[in-house]
Amino acid sequence: MDKLKLPNGILAVPAEYKEQVIPEYSGNPFIEALPPILSAEEAAEKLAFYPPYHPQERRLESHYRIHMVQRLFQIFQPLPVHLDLESRISRILRQGYLARNPLKPQFVQYLKNSDEIINKGIDGTLENNKLFRTTASGFSIVGVSGMGKSTAINQVLRMYPQVILHSRYKETKFSVYQLVWLKLDCPFDGSIKGLCIEFFNKIDALLGTNYYTKFANGRYSVDHMVTAICKIAQNLGLGLLIIDEIQHLNEAKSGGEQRMLNFFVSLVNTIGLPIVLIGTPKALNVLQSQFRQARRGSGQGDMIWERLNKDDIWQLLVDALWRYQWTRKETPLTDEINDVLYEESQGIIDIAVKLYAMAQIRAIVSGKEEITPNLIRQVAKENLQLVQPMLQALKKGNLMEIAKYDDICTANVDFVGFFSKNRQAVEMEMRLKALQKQQQQKEREEMLSVKEQAIIKLLELNIEAKKAQKVVEQVMEEGEKLEVSEVVVRAIQLLSSTGEKTKRRSREHNVKKMNENDIRLIVEEGRKKQMTAYEALKEKNLIKGIDDVIFQARCSA
């Protein structure tokens, strides 16, 4: 599906109508333009994401490796519950469009009726659209923080183009945008106004409209905003609305929660828009009482995502993670490590991934380069304090019990803070090393005069020692204060301008005539032993080593 960038900046996919196996889906452009219905295997393959990894990366320096550890957070290992989610979304999306076929004459009637109801405002909208038998339904996903609810829904939604551009359906001119899905986060204060504003903002960002300026400018009441949303959703053929963080509804000002739920229910029943609500166990009360009863004939049970049990599913996840290891030493996944990881994370995916990442970083930074059960216990002890009450409640195992601790969110496990602290430690060490190296280099250079350094460089270029010395002296005689590189450049220029070639002459002959302490001789002898000029001079104690300098400095201090 190649996205098309329209002149107004919208990224849309041009509609391609696919033949439908299921007869009732045929002839509905909104459904025919969707990607094909997947089998479980196809869904698993499309959902999975394994970032690249190469075992050779273990050899890299620590500052690279601690960055790479963060790739762990990109992994998506599909689990059975995700295949269930994928197939539910696939069904409710299509079912929702079933009664909203824009090419059927009833569609006009549907728009007219729902408009009338919408216009009555939010508190009147619970009334059903009698002439419109909705095929829409919704469901909710409830699960402890960190079980991957948001990640999973994003991964499923990613398989659908968000905006489809229709221009012609068979022989009929059919020029519309289809907004396949829209995901909103319930605002912190649980207010409908906040949610409406987010709706306008998201649509504006996607379609280049300016609904925010138009409807959220303070001149319109919340009722007006809701009406606008219903109409926009209708006109855009919105297929699915997902509202995450629904537990914030609990914090709504009095009456807010009921109003909000009414609003959702009316979207399902009046305009036939399927809705998925996602939240932590704190949202259970609200969802189970109002939302469930108000929805009619949903046919889809809610999804409760418990923490993972220590079974094959847990193993599937841990095996996927374990391949990604950047410590020098390879640690196999032993039963003991597996037990500790489960015990410390209580089967919460987010915590398991973070613990594994933190243990690797700690192993790398400390130089121990190995993951051990104790290391995992230790990083857990140091970094999981904020989520301990939730983990303890999980051990006792009751979702309602957990609801009490629900303002605890696994995002409180501060991986970013942990990472930056450890990164700083590594960088500090690296900077120190770099400074030491630079200092050594500087001291080494200071010990040799510019003249000596220039001669050595020329010798390394295979220029005969005597000639090198002579030409350098010649350059320096000019009295200008020059850098070593400048002396070398001028010396080479001088050599070539006098027509001299850098051919090696019979050095043996010349060398013999030299004094044994003549640096030219020393360098020549060194060269025979494959030594650099610097090494040869150092061997004869003609250059002080950095250790000598440090040693002397310490003694004199």
Ligand X SMILES: Nc1ncnc2c1ncn2[C@@H]1O[C@H](COP(=O)(O)OP(=O)(O)OP(=O)(O)O)[C@@H](O)[C@H]1O
Q: Is 137 in the site for ligand X (CB under 6 A)?
A: no
- Residue 315 is a binding residue for ligand X (CB under 6 A): no
Out of 150, 258, 510, 532, which residue is the one contacting ligand X (CB under 6 A)? 150
Supply the minimum distance, in Å, between the C-beta of residue 403 and ligand X. Answer: 12
Distance from chain centroid for Cα 482: 51
- Name the one range near ligand X by CB under 6 A: 54-62, 144-152, 175-183, 482-490: 144-152
Distance CA 144, CA 248 (A): 14
Where in 345-374 is the site for ligand X (CB under 6 A)?
Answer: 349-350, 353
338 contributes a contact to Mg ion by CB under 5 A = no
Pairing assessment for the beta strands 139-143 and 275-279 based on DSSP bridges: parallel
Binding of ligand X by 146 (CB under 6 A)? yes
Number of H helices, E strands in the chain: 26, 9
- Map residue 305 onto helix, strand or coil: strand
Residues 264-303 that bind ligand X (CB under 6 A): 280
Instruction: Work out the number of other CB atoms within 10 angstroms of the CB of residue 503.
Output: 8
Q: Which is nearer to Mg ion, 283 or 426 (CB)?
A: 283
Give whichever of 17 and 73 is closer to ligand X, judged by the CB atom.
73
Quote the least distance from Cβ 150 to Mg ion, whole Å: 3
Q: Among residues 355, 337, 345, 341, which one has the least CA distance to residue 391?
A: 345
| Two tokens, residue 250 | 């609990």
Which lies closer to Mg ion via its Cβ, residue 243 or residue 487? 243
Residues in 374-403 that interact with ligand X by CB under 6 A? none
Shortest spacing between CB 414 and ligand X, in angstroms: 14
- The reply to whether 70 sits near Mg ion by the rule CB under 5 A is no
Name which of residues 131 to 170 contact Mg ion (CB under 5 A).
150
CB of 161 to ligand X, least distance (A): 22
Residue among 148 and 239 whose Cβ is closer to ligand X: 148
What's the DSSP call for residue 291? I
3-state SS, 148-192, equals CHHHHHHHHHCCCCCEEEEEEECCEEEEEEEECEEEEECCCCCCH
73 lies in the site for ligand X, by CB under 6 A: yes
- CA dist 523 and 462 (Å) reads 11
Query: What is the spatial distance between Cα 368 and Cα 448, in angstroms, rounded to a whole number?
Result: 40
What, of Mg ion, ligand X, none, does residue 350 touch, CB below 5 to 8 Å by kind? ligand X
For residue 441, give the nearest of 347, 534, 329 by alpha carbon.
Answer: 534
β 303-305/139-143 pair status = parallel
Whole-angstrom CA distances from 132 to 104, 165, 240, 316 are: 13, 26, 18, 45
Footprint (CB under 5 A) of Mg ion, residues 199-218: none
Judge residue 464's burial from the number of C-beta atoms within 10 Å of its C-beta, 0-12 exposed, 13-18 middle, 19 or more buried.
buried
Task: Select 98 or 409, whichever has its Cβ closest to ligand X.
Answer: 409
Identify the sign of the CA torsion 402, 404, 409, 410.
Answer: negative
In terms of CB distance, is 160 or 314 closer to ligand X?
314
# chain residues binding Mg ion, by CB under 5 A: 1
Q: Give yes or no for a contact between 155 and 296, defined as CB atoms under 8 angstroms apart.
A: no
CB of 324 to ligand X, least distance (A): 11
Q: 276 vs 458, which CB is nearer to ligand X?
A: 276
Q: Per CB under 5 A, which of residues 231..250 are in contact with Mg ion?
A: none
Binding site for ligand X (CB under 6 A): 73, 75-77, 79, 143, 145-151, 280, 349-350, 353, 409-411
Binding site for Mg ion (CB under 5 A): 150
